[in-house]
Structure 1
Amino acid sequence: MTREEPAAPSRVDLADPGIFERDAARHLFAQLRQEHPIWWNPGTDGRGFWSVLRYRDIVAVSKNPRLFSSARHQGGHRIHDEVDAEITQGLEASMLSMDPPEHNTHRGMVAPAFTPERIRGLEARIRARVTSLLDRIAHQGECEFVSSVAAELPIQVIAELLGVPQEDRLRLFEWSNALIGEDDPDMRKSAGHIRQCSKDMGIYALKLWRERLRRPGDDLVSMLAGTEIDGEVMSIPRYFATFFLLVIAGNESVRNSISGGLLALSQHPAQRRRLIEEPTLIPLAAKEIIRWVSPFLHMRRTATEDTVLSGQPIAKGDKVVLWYISGNFDEEVFEHPERFDVARSGVPHLGFGQGQHYCLGWRLAELQLTVLFQELLRRFPDMEPCGQVRRVRSNFVNGIKELPVRFTPER
C-alpha cells in the first residue's frame, strides 16, 4: 500500500519529550484532533509513525490486536522501543508486548492478585501508610511532595504486595525510574546505568523467587513462583518480565496521578473546595484525576497488514501510536473536556488503556488515590505548590519529578 499522508502542521514531532516536559501537549493535541485526527508523524530521526488522536479510533485499534499488534517482534509497545533493544536484550517480553492468546494466558496468571475482594482488603493497610506519610510532614508546613508522599505511597504498597522488605523499596524505585525514564537525564544517567539497574533488579527478583520456592507466602512473587502454564511452571525469564512490569506499572501510574492530581486541585480551587465540602465525591475525583493527568501518555501498536482506519490507509508494518492524553480530552466524547470536574461521570477515561491491555491494577490505583486525597484534604486542605514544578522529560510517562508545597502545619 502506498502511504497517503494527510497534510500536517510543520515542525511538529510528537515524539519530542520536550513537549510533555513543558506541559504543552493539550493545546497541540486539540488542534491536531480537529485537523488531522490520524496523522503521520515523520519524526526527526526517520522513524515515523501514525498518531491516533480520537477516542473512538484509539478504542477501535485497542480492541483489534489481530490488525494492530503489541508484540515485541512487531516492534514493542512504545514509540521507540527499537532504540532500547540493546539495553533490553535477553529480557523476555512483558504482557504489554504480547498478543492473544499468549497475552491472555499470562494475564490470567496475575489477575487473581487484583480481584475486587483482594483490593478491598488492602484499604485499611493503605490508609495506615497514608496516615504515616502525612504524619511525617504534618508539623513542617512545607515539603517536596513527590519524594515525601506521591512516590512513597505506591512503592510501599507494591513492596508489600511483592513481599519485599520495606527497607528495599528505594532500590525498586531507582530501578523503576531507570527503566522507564526515557530521555530524562536525572533518571537515565547512561545506557550502562540502565543495563546495571536491569541486571541488579533481575538478581534481586531471582533471590525472591528462590526464597518463595522454599517458603511460599501470600504475596505476588509466591503466586508467580507457584503458577503453571499448560502444566509447566513459569520460566525465569518470563518471571523477570512480569516482576519488572509489576514494579514499574504499580509505581509510575499512581505516583504521577497523585502529584498531578494535587497540582490540578491547586489550579482549580473551586473543585478542591467542593471535595472538602463533599468528600463522598473523592472516588469520582480519582477517576477524573487519572483522565486529566493521563499518567501513561501513549501505547504503540504495529499494523500487521494493509488496512484503513477511519478512512486513513495504513500500511503493513507502520507504527500506530495511541495518544491517551489526546483521547482523554476528545470533544466528541467528553463534555467540556478542558474542565477539571471532580464530579464527572459517564464515559470512561483512557488512562488505564482499552481492550485486552486494560490495566490489571486499576482498582488498586483508584483506591490509593481515593484514600490519599481523603486524608490529605481532611488534614491539609490548603496544601499548594510553592516553587518550580519539574516534570519528567519523556514522551511515555506524564510525570512530575519535583513539586514543592506549603500548607498550614498541624499543631
Structure 2
Amino acid sequence: MRAESTEALGIDLADPRHYEHDAARNLFARLRGERPIWWSPQADGRGFWSVLRYRDIVTVSKNPRLFSSARGLGGHRIHDETEVEITQGLEASMLSMDPPEHNTYRGMVSPAFTAERIRRLEASIHARVTALLDRIAPSGGCEFVSSVAAELPIQVIAELLGVPQEDRLRLFEWSNALVGEDDPDMRRSEEHIRQCTKDMGAYALKLWRERLRRPGDDLVSMLVGTEADGEGMSVPRYFATFFLLVIAGNESVRNTISGGLLALSQYPEQRRKLVEQPALIPQAVKELVRWVSPFLHMRRTATEDTELAGQHIARGDKVVLWYLSANFDEEVFEQPERFDVTRTGPQHLSFGQGQHFCLGWRLAELQLTVLFQELLRRFPDIEPHGPVRRVRSNFVRGIKEMPVRFTPER
C-alpha cells in the first residue's frame, strides 16, 4: 500500500525545474517535515520512493543486500538506464555495482587516490590556480564558470589521466553532455549524446592502447596494468571507469566552486571571516560542499520486500536518496539553513556513504581549498555581477553561467 504521494500535492521530484530555479531546498524541508519517505508516481510507470532524511539515507547506503545499485536493476539514476545513458553499450561503472564485484573494481582504482598521492598534487594544483587567476586578474571581471570553476577540475583530471591539456575541452564537452540530459544547452539531442558517448569511448580506447605500449605514472596506465585476483580490468569496465572518473571529478568540484562563490557573496559576513582568517578555509570547504550539494541524488532498487522508517518498500521498487535534502536535515545539522564557514559536526552526504563513498573526496577538497585560498586573497571583493544561470537537471546542482566582477590587480 502506497503512502500519500507527491502526486496528491502536484509535485514531481524528478522535475528538473525545481533544481534549475533553486526551489528544491525549501520543498524538501516541507516534505521532510510531513513524512520522511515519499512516493512519486510521475517519473515512469513504476514511480519511485524519495528518501529525505539523513539517517534513512545512511541506512540504505550501508545495506547493498537490500538496496542494490546494480545496473541490471536499473542502475543509479531515477529513470532506468537506457541506450542514451552514461555508459551506452558498456558495462556498468562502480556506481552501478554491488559487493563483491564493486569491492574488486574499487580496489583497482583506489591506489590512485591515497592521501600521499593526493598530497603530491598540491604544488601542481596551486600552479594551475595561480595561472587561472593571473589570466583574469587585470580585467576586473569575467564569466566565472568557464574561466575558473570549470577550468581547474578539468585540467586536474587531464593531468591525472595523462591526457594532453589541449584535449581537456573535449573531455569537458563530453562530461557536460553525459550529465546534462535535461538541459538543452548541454545536450542538444539524443543523437548528440550518442555521438559524445562514441567519441569519448574511442578516445579512451586510444589511451588504453597507448598505455599498453608505453605505460606511465598516470591513472590510465594504472587502470590498464592493475589486476585483481589474477585478472586485469576488462576493456568495457575500463571504459565505464574512465567515464566515471571524468564526470565525477569534473562535476563535483566545478559546481562547488561556482556555488560556493555564490554562497560567499550572498553571506558577506561569512566571506569576511575567510578573508581575515584564511586558516579557516580547509574546514569551510566542507560547509561549501554541504551547502551546494553538487550531486542531488543517487538511486537504489529494493531486492526484496522490506520496511524503511515504518514505510513498506516492495521488491523491485526504486529508492532515490536525495542528498540535498539530507544535507539540510534538522535532525542532524544545527540550524541547517544557516551558512556557517566555521561549522563542525556531522559529515555531509555529498560524497555518499557506505561502499560508494567518493574515492576522490581528498582531491576535491584539496582543489577547493587551494582555489578559495588564492581567490579570496587576491580578489576579496569578487561577487556575481549579472544573471546566474543554473543547469537544468535533477542529478547535478550546477551553475552554467555566472558573470563576476572584482577589483582588478595592477
Distance 1:212 1:70 in 2: 31
Q: Secondary structure at the match of 1:81?
A: coil
Instruction: Give the structure 1 partner of residue 39 of structure 2.
Output: 40
Instruction: Give the structure 2 partner of residue 258 of structure 1.
Output: 257
Instruction: Give the structure 2 partner of residue 6 of structure 1.
Output: 4
Q: 8 Å contact 2:84–2:194 — kept in the other structure? A: no
The CA deviation at 1:45 is: 4.0
Deviation string, structure 1 residues 296-333 (Cα, Å, up to 9, x no partner): 00000000000000100000000000000000000000
Residue correspondence of structure 1 range 148-187 to structure 2 within 5 A: 148-187=147-186
- Structure 1-normalised TM-score? 0.98
The CA deviation at 1:4 is: 2.9
The CA deviation at 1:231 is: 1.4
Distance 1:212 1:83 in 2: 31
Instruction: Give the structure 2 partner of residue 281 of structure 1.
Output: 280
Distance 2:38 2:127 in 1: 47
Q: 8 Å contact 1:390–1:400 — kept in the other structure? A: yes
The CA deviation at 1:242 is: 0.5
Distance 1:70 1:287 in 2: 26
Instruction: Give the structure 1 partner of residue 200 of structure 2.
Output: 201
Q: 8 Å contact 1:87–1:195 — kept in the other structure? A: no
Deviation string, structure 1 residues 1-55 (Cα, Å, up to 9, x no partner): xx33235551100000000000000110000001021010111543410000000
Distance 2:218 2:43 in 1: 45
- 1:374 is the counterpart of 2:373: yes
The CA deviation at 1:86 is: 7.0
Q: 8 Å contact 1:6–1:36 — kept in the other structure? A: no
Distance 1:191 1:358 in 2: 31
Deviation string, structure 1 residues 261-291 (Cα, Å, up to 9, x no partner): 0000000000000001111110011100000
Q: Secondary structure at the match of 1:300?
A: strand
Instruction: Give the structure 1 partner of residue 399 of structure 2.
Output: 400
Instruction: Give the structure 2 partner of residue 58 of structure 1.
Output: 57
Q: Secondary structure at the match of 2:9?
A: coil
Distance 2:42 2:17 in 1: 14
Q: 8 Å contact 2:75–2:299 — kept in the other structure? A: yes
Q: Secondary structure at the match of 2:254?
A: helix
Distance 2:85 2:132 in 1: 39
Q: Secondary structure at the match of 1:143?
A: strand
Deviation string, structure 1 residues 102-156 (Cα, Å, up to 9, x no partner): 0000000000000001111111110000000000000000100000000000000
Q: 8 Å contact 1:383–1:406 — kept in the other structure? A: yes
Residue correspondence of structure 1 range 166-245 to structure 2 within 5 A: 166-245=165-244
Instruction: Give the structure 2 partner of residue 70 of structure 1.
Output: 69
Distance 2:213 2:145 in 1: 37
Instruction: Give the structure 2 partner of residue 124 of structure 1.
Output: 123
Distance 1:364 1:196 in 2: 30
The CA deviation at 1:232 is: 2.0
- Structure 2-normalised TM-score? 0.98
The CA deviation at 1:89 is: 3.8
Q: Secondary structure at the match of 2:185?
A: coil
Distance 2:392 2:82 in 1: 17
Residues 86 and 97 of structure 1: is their aligned pair in 2 closer, same or farther, counting only changes over 3 Å? Answer: closer
Deviating runs (4+, > 6 A) in structure 1?
none
Q: Secondary structure at the match of 2:81?
A: helix
Q: Secondary structure at the match of 1:405?
A: strand
The CA deviation at 1:404 is: 0.4
Instruction: Give the structure 1 partner of residue 364 of structure 2.
Output: 365
Residues 85 and 230 of structure 1: is their aligned pair in 2 closer, same or farther, counting only changes over 3 Å? Answer: farther
Q: 8 Å contact 2:50–2:322 — kept in the other structure? A: yes
Letter of the aligned partner of 2:3 in structure 1? E
Distance 2:400 2:254 in 1: 10
Q: 8 Å contact 2:36–2:309 — kept in the other structure? A: no
The CA deviation at 1:233 is: 1.8
What CA RMSD, in Å, does the superposition of the two structures yield over aligned residues? 1.1
Q: Secondary structure at the match of 1:401?
A: strand
The CA deviation at 1:88 is: 4.2
Distance 2:46 2:283 in 1: 39
Q: Secondary structure at the match of 1:40?
A: strand
Letter of the aligned partner of 1:303 in structure 2? A
Q: Secondary structure at the match of 1:397?
A: coil
The CA deviation at 1:405 is: 0.3
Q: 8 Å contact 2:224–2:232 — kept in the other structure? A: yes
Q: 8 Å contact 1:286–1:366 — kept in the other structure? A: yes
Residues 172 and 7 of structure 1: is their aligned pair in 2 closer, same or farther, counting only changes over 3 Å? Answer: closer
Q: Structure 2: where are the runs of 5+ without partners?
A: none
Q: Secondary structure at the match of 2:238?
A: helix
Distance 1:158 1:4 in 2: 44
The CA deviation at 1:201 is: 0.6
The CA deviation at 1:223 is: 0.2
Residues 261 and 206 of structure 1: is their aligned pair in 2 closer, same or farther, counting only changes over 3 Å? Answer: same
Q: Structure 1: where are the runs of 5+ without partners?
A: none
